[in-house]
A and B are shown apart, each in its own frame.
Chain A
């Protein structure tokens, strides 16, 4: 890691009774980067975010946040903001009142309230009650409340959950601006496209353990052979060509959920073999209308890593 570490966790353990929520977790987040936390439900993502926000303390291990060793709950350094699960909003208050109260509690500049609301595009509903807000509006207001304290570390739990495409783009832009200015962002998401757009690095958790940590490209490359669907002008010839192409294995469309007898062919193999298949199809006079992975690489990697939570972790970092 070349940059300054906003978060450095080593061997962090957190249990709730007999349930081990985090099992010797390591985490490195650099300033000015967006780091994704991925994992199935119950993997320990929220617990880890809670530790970063100072909601609870680790049972064992070492956690440094913004250069400060964090031991006791609610004694994290200044400069951290965010939310876990859902933004904490009071429906009987307006967005302006919610944020003004937070600014007062945290000693922020009250003039920043208008700025934060404008950043997330909620300035036109600033004086409406939050009670009537959609999930997406609440998410954006949660982001505004987190930005209000001008954090150096922003911790967000599924910040794009419930957002329409335009609002999602807006949130992406805000996060990009923040990281450009050096803010570190740790976020969770179940949307791989979000992770692909936002994150430079990801940590994949499964059953409280880290099963992958590193750059997003590395995660994608760890997937191995991907299933691809090929749509051609002549499916019969294409099937014959695919069967003769080295490294390519034909799959039964029914196994992949495709409609049998259509113009779709599903094959599995490494990317060079896919390239060779396309060349052979063209030589055979078969037009290729579409070629793409059945499951996106990131999602495939995620599924592969977390498919069997009982298996031994494959820490790649």
Chain B
């Protein structure tokens, strides 16, 4: 064995490795992990398979938004995947990717090697953050594409009745679908940044890995509590539900913008805190992985402060002290949905077409009887919808029981008359068909001006 060494010509100070090369290395390390490879496979295959299987079953996931429409259109299945993803999948993905990207170097004892090779903590951080974002983006893209392909293959590219009953189709529907996924990237980025922070602050501890998942559980619990609207809007997971406001005739912009802005603020603050903690860490002693109560506090305090500031700002700029669910908003939403769905029912029954203006639909809602204030979520809302038919002097009316969630979504359950909304099937020209007025999902715009009758 002979060794030939070509002497380095320069003793100039070693310059940091180019960012692009560091980024490629981080990407290589991530995709070489079996865990990430498995996630990629699952995200690109499982949603399509899930939608394909569920779309062929008689029992649909009606408790998930758009779930009851999975037989009607492939877009519903794609949106069910989005809803499921927002519930658990996206926080979990960020935990498994971003929550471990720094901690893995501690476990492998490779920090010194990396620092000697790259020569810049800043570039290491940026490379790791961007590589994590790339992998998470790949996983999110897989969820979106797989769910959509599975849905379209299973149930076809048919119009989707929005959450106000308005039929969405074609490029408009596709555009909103893409926009919905883009919007949920903001809270996904927030969870990823919290994962980075956990990974930096908690060192080799597995707690860093589960930080985004713990946050997701925490936020899910908080959302179950009867909290003021300002608090709900200040949660970084707000955009995980606010995307539903895209699937109505007139997009519910305000909750979506608030959700995206809050989530991006969380992403920015968490990333900056993680960056600062990482730069301050001393890598000389491998026995010290940088974790500790001080670091945890230094990581948590800025986020807690951001939460408080967000609540204060939103409380001052919105009607944030209430729940956002009141009779006026609910009546407006229900009347609009009913008008759109009535037209759909009329088309199924082969009746003459009518317009929403002709119907002049209105609703009157009451919560829990006269002793309870008509405000807030609950399953004790009862509404009476009235409408006019052109050429008819009589006014039609139908009764609904509403189960309203704190995030503004509600399920309207038809209570009669039977020929209008009391039975789940109707007799269409081509045979029995689902009755669109029997049960449907709706969405209250929590930030819409309250309608005063």
- Total chain B interface residues with beta-carbon distance under 8 A: 44
B382 at the interface (CB under 8 A from A): no
B17 CB to closest chain A CB, in angstroms?
4
Inter-chain contact B1/A170, CB cutoff 8 Å: yes
User: How far, in whole Å, are A67 and B13 apart by their CA atoms in the complex?
Assistant: 11
CB <8 Å contact, B117 and A55: no
B109 x A86 contact (CB < 8 A): yes
Contact between B13 and A150 (Cβ–Cβ < 8 Å)? no
Q: Is A156 an interface residue when CB atoms closer than 8 A count as contact?
A: no
A173 touches B1 (CB 8 A): yes
Whether B284 and A56, one on each chain, are in contact in the complex, defined by CB atoms closer than 8 angstroms, is yes
CA distance A60 to B22 in the complex (A): 32
Residues of A within 8 A of B29 (CB): 90, 92-93
**A54 in contact with B32 (CB, 8 Å):** no
| Cα–Cα, bound, A121→B3 (Å) | 12
B283 lies within 8 A of A55 (CB): yes
The residues of B that contact A91 with a CB separation of less than 8 Å are: 108
| B112 near A79: Cβ-Cβ < 8 Å | no
The answer to whether B282 and A151 touch across the interface, beta carbons within 8 angstroms, is no
B3/A177 in contact, CB under 8 A: yes
A89 CB contacts on chain B under 8 angstroms: 108, 110, 113
- Interface presence of A174 (CB below 8 A): yes
| B210 part of interface (Cβ distance < 8 Å) | no
> How far is it, in angstroms, between the C-alpha of A50 and the C-alpha of B115 when the chains are bound?
11
Q: Decide: A16 and B285 in contact? CB cutoff 8 A.
A: yes
The reply to whether B109 and A88 form a contact with Cβ atoms under 8 Å apart is yes
Central interface residue in A54, A78, A119, by most chain B CB within 10 Å: A78
Contact with B along A73-86 (1 / 0, CB 8 A): 01111111111111
Q: Does A122 contact B (CB under 8 A)?
A: no
- Complex CA gap A92/B33 in Å reads 6
Interface hit among A96-104, A159-167, A256-264, A289-297: A96-104
Further 8 A-B residue pairs, CB within 8 A, beyond A16-B282, A78-B13, A101-B28? A16-B284, A54-B14, A56-B284, A77-B14, A79-B11, A87-B113, A88-B114, A181-B5
Among all A-B residue pairs, the 6 with the closest Cβ atoms: A88-B113, A177-B3, A88-B110, A105-B17, A92-B32, A181-B5
Query: Can you show 30 pairs from A to B with CB atoms below 8 A apart?
Result: A14-B284, A55-B112, A56-B283, A68-B11, A74-B121, A75-B119, A76-B13, A77-B12, A78-B8, A78-B11, A78-B15, A80-B14, A85-B112, A86-B109, A88-B111, A88-B112, A89-B110, A89-B113, A91-B108, A93-B28, A104-B21, A104-B25, A119-B3, A149-B8, A152-B7, A173-B1, A177-B1, A177-B3, A178-B3, A181-B4
Partner-B contacts on A (CB < 8 A):
14, 16, 46-47, 50, 53-56, 66-68, 74-93, 97, 101-102, 104-107, 118-119, 121, 145, 149-152, 170, 173-174, 177-178, 180-183
Interface residues of B (CB under 8 A from A): 1-8, 10-17, 21-22, 24-25, 28-29, 32-34, 108-121, 282-286
